[in-house]
A and B are shown apart, each in its own frame.
Chain A
Amino acid sequence: MLARSPVALLGLALIAAIGVIAVLAPVLPLPSPSATSILDSYLPPSAEHWFGTDALGRDVLSRTLWGARSSLAIGLGIVVIGMVLGVSLGLAAAEAAGTLFEELAMRLVDIFAAIPVLIWAIAVVGIVGTGATQIGPVSLSNEAKLVLLVGILFFPGIARITYGLALAELTQEYVDARRLQGTGSAAILFGDVLPNILSPLLVQASVLVGIGIIIEASLSFVGLGVQPPMPSWGSMLADSKQTVFSGEYWLSLFPGLAIFLSVIGFNLLGDGLRDLFDPRRRTRLPKGAA
């Protein structure tokens, strides 16, 4: 099916390439991303260090590839949390149409939608601090905290889309037929309604992963995201801010390019999927000829 949309295919290829790199980073013949060597600091790109080295003599290629791991993991994690919360709440609200629960759920969505993501993340991470947090018996790493905190803010958009689509789908006759069989609400919502409204949700999700990657980079840039020594594109950019105008272009170019390519990959995939799923883009027959 993807073959019909070159745009989606290009996006998918980009994401797949980055994904493969992220998975294979530990086995690739690369120097350790955290191995320092003061003597080798600020080396320009060469046969030995393809992307050059940074202030501590760490290999930028290795750090960029390892950075893909945290970027993708956090970007995807945020969206998974947002999807789970948003889809559940959206479906439940649609099923409860006309009740107080519907009203409360959708107003809750409005409240969360009004919170600016970055400011919220900076504020909350600022309060609970970076590094692992102990909540009772559970220890949350900084990355897990990020995924949870930002994921919560991703659910309103998904909840609204799910709610609108589900409201329309619930009026279909086959849903009534299922109710007449004595099937419970949850089985109807997840077994019948969700598969029929999944396409637009996947489009939204793939675009949101791109936004999630940018948020991770932004937070790491201000030091609240991925913590050293683990490399991240955002923190690499932050480290390179003194050298932007002094000639060591490779320090900012490669992580910046990595962010650019992965975000554009997810956006292209989203655009392509939307075109594929959009019934108006399929060849139509006029009424009467169907």
Chain B
Amino acid sequence: MDPLLQIEDLEVRFGTFHAVRGVSLTLARGEKLAIIGESGSGKSVTALSVMRLLDGAARTSGRIALQGAEVLDLPAPALRRLRGRQVAMVFQDPMTSLNPVFPVGRQIGDVLAAHTDLPRAARRARAVELLRQVGIREAERCLTLHPHELSGGMRQRVMIALAIACDPALLIADEPTTALDVTVQEQITRLLVDLCRARGIGLLFISHNLDLVGEFADRIAVMHEGRIVEIGEAAQVMGAPQAEYTRRLLAAIPRIGLPGEGRLPDTPVVLETRAVSRAYPRARSAVARLWDRRQVQALRPSDLQVHAGQVLGIVGESGSGKSTLARLLIGLDQPTGGNVLLQGASLKPRNRTERRALSRRIQLVFQGSQASLNPRKTIRRALSEAMQALPRPERRSPEALMALVRLDPGLLDRYPHQLSGGQRQRVGIARALATSPEILIADEPTSALDVSVQKEIIELLQSLQRDLGMTMIVISHDLGLIGTICDRVLVMRAGAIVETGEARQVLTHPATDYTRALLESLPKGLAGRARFASPA
């Protein structure tokens, strides 16, 4: 029997950039194939080629056969019939892939109207049925809602309902859970896998997360620099990888380590909060606030203590208040209640002199995305500016800072866009260390980076913390990162601290259901296959 999808010698070029270099793969009916790769590996471009969704700048050659149709040669009308009816796609960000101005019901109705001849009433009934199938309980009500009224997980469910509306033979999911919280990620992956299994849909699942696809994929293809470096049964690729690159990827995944035995030393508390809370007014404008006094409680009164020389991890999903807490801890924002105390004294800087003094004691490392450095300033300038709070004799040379984070000083005269993600994040760390702070707060320090780079940055932060004897606070949604480097852990949910304790204790014997759920929903690679073995 013919395979559902057959790709032979696919090549894609954008100008001089060779994105996909001779990719060949097949996908059988009902099979679940995962393509794994880091950014720039060509995995998304390969997926988009199957739908012929690449823009005009792309030069494509090779052969893509889908149920016997030559996709690359199809005329436009046939291509439109192919999209939706035979292949459907689920994207990473359901906020931008749903149209924000139309209610959900209309968007599903439009797809049905385009591909079927169902009458209006039947389309509505079918939309309700589809929403039920993707696990939306109040399907009738959901039809009337706009995308912004739905949570991220709900939006992704709607996207999946749209994708399966016309019973496609192949579903392409491009990083469908990357923008979602870990507990939601598990639900959505499960939904996709169950749907495809029940309907015999072939699934092409694009991801950077090996542990995630290891739980359910039949086969895994690993892409690197436009080529498939390894393809095979999931158990084989994950368990006994042949390619050097696959081995590196597997080794780089941050997994919760086994924290060492023995009690943590009792060091003095350097930073603490006393019933600190932050509420934001609902109304944005000062005038509207005169009559609209409603508030959103981003952080409920919370107490925490950070011990000198230790690493505290703050874990939480989006909206848990962890970033609000970080901004309060560093004085970028002021609490609406309670206090932040730095060695017993209130943190609030009253003027610029105090702000500068504070900048020498506590600093922040950002996500390391493009936005963390001013695109118009060279690295040298960014690092020099970071030292302006210091008196001249104490300033170090930018070269010395680069050496500290193990970067080539030759990069000093480059602009941020000329650096890789990992290099940018090292510069971000160097900038934070410019004033030799006692306390370093890292807010999602690896979330914008590829897996192999994440490992380097984690190791760098660890060794710097040890060598400089810094106190560190790491904020992340990634339990793997937290479990790797933290001494103590604090779990947040919906603006409140739900659990706190030594990392070893919290991560192995969680006291609350929420922490347990977080730990359980963490993708576990081959070890997690059991939960996908049968439909829920």
Contact = CB atoms under 8 A, between A and B. Distances in A.
Interface string A192-214: 10011000000000000000000
A182 B17 contact: no
Contact of B39 (A174, A182, A288): A288
B42 A288 contact: yes
Contacts of B42: 288-289
B355 interface: yes
Contact of B48 (A176, A184, A284, A286): A286
Nearest to B364: A180
A154 B428 CA distance: 40
A99 B286 CA distance: 5
Contact of A289 (B17, B364, B376): B17
B386 interface: yes
B286 A98 contact: yes
Contacts of B68: none
B284 interface: yes
Interface residues of B, number: 52
B386 A103 contact: no
Contacts of A176: 332, 364, 366
Interface string B195-212: 000000000001000000
Given A180-B332, A180-B363, A283-B57, A174 B374 contact: yes
B223 to A, nearest CB: 10
Interface in A95-123: 98-100, 102-103
B193 interface: no
Contacts of A172: 371
Contacts of A241: none
Interface residues of A, number: 28
B467 interface: no
Contacts, number: 103
Interface string B30-44: 000000000111111
Contacts of B58: 286
B284 A98 contact: yes
Contacts of A184: 352
A48 interface: no
Contacts of B374: 174, 178, 192, 196
Interface in B354-411: 355-356, 358-359, 363-364, 366-367, 369, 371-377, 382, 385-386, 388-389
Interface in A222-271: none
A173 B369 contact: yes
Contacts of A180: 330, 332, 359, 363-364
Contacts of B279: none
Contacts of A178: 374, 385
Given A178-B374, A288-B45, 8 more contacts: A181-B356, A181-B385, A182-B359, A286-B54, A286-B58, A289-B14, A289-B17, A289-B19
19 contacts: A98-B284, A98-B285, A100-B287, A103-B285, A172-B371, A177-B364, A177-B372, A180-B364, A181-B356, A182-B359, A182-B389, A183-B385, A183-B388, A192-B376, A196-B376, A285-B19, A287-B44, A289-B19, A289-B44
Interface of A: 98-100, 102-103, 172-174, 176-184, 192, 195-196, 283-290
Interface of B: 14-15, 17, 19, 39-45, 48, 53-55, 57-58, 92, 174, 206, 281, 284-287, 330, 332, 352, 355-356, 358-359, 363-364, 366-367, 369, 371-377, 382, 385-386, 388-389, 428, 431, 435
